[in-house]
Amino acid sequence: MKALITAGGHGTRLRPITHTQNKHLIPIANKLMLQFALEFAQEAGIIDVGIVINSNDESIKNAFGDGTDLGIQLTYIPQDKTPWPSPCCKNIGIIHWE
């Protein structure tokens, strides 16, 4: 089974915190916010996860790499220039990650 996590956007409602970091990488209880979702997926037996990210932001890739530290396989799907992830999700049927 595969999972898709939408982690795009610019975090404008979380400013000024998001002026310096991605909203999905804000620490909560000593874990990055996105890490909670990834760990829940892994605990549910999902090891193949696609993450929709901003096309110009490498911070999530830098934080989680290929996912081996969490025991999962991550594939990064760049979000186009629309302000919402739905165009990427609409076309997810044609995106195949291995």
pTM: 0.76
> What pLDDT is recorded for position 72?
92
Bridge partner residues of 5 (DSSP) = 51
The fold for domain 2-94 equals Spore Coat Polysaccharide Biosynthesis Protein SpsA; Chain A (3.90.550)
pLDDT in tens, the chain (98 residues): 888 888 776 666 667 766 677 777 888 899 988 999 999 999 999 989 988 888 788 888 999 999 999 899 998 888 765 555 555 555 555 455 55
Residue type, 19: H
Q: How far is CA 44 from CA 32, 38, 64, in A?
A: 19, 10, 19
Per-domain residue ranges for the chain? 2-94
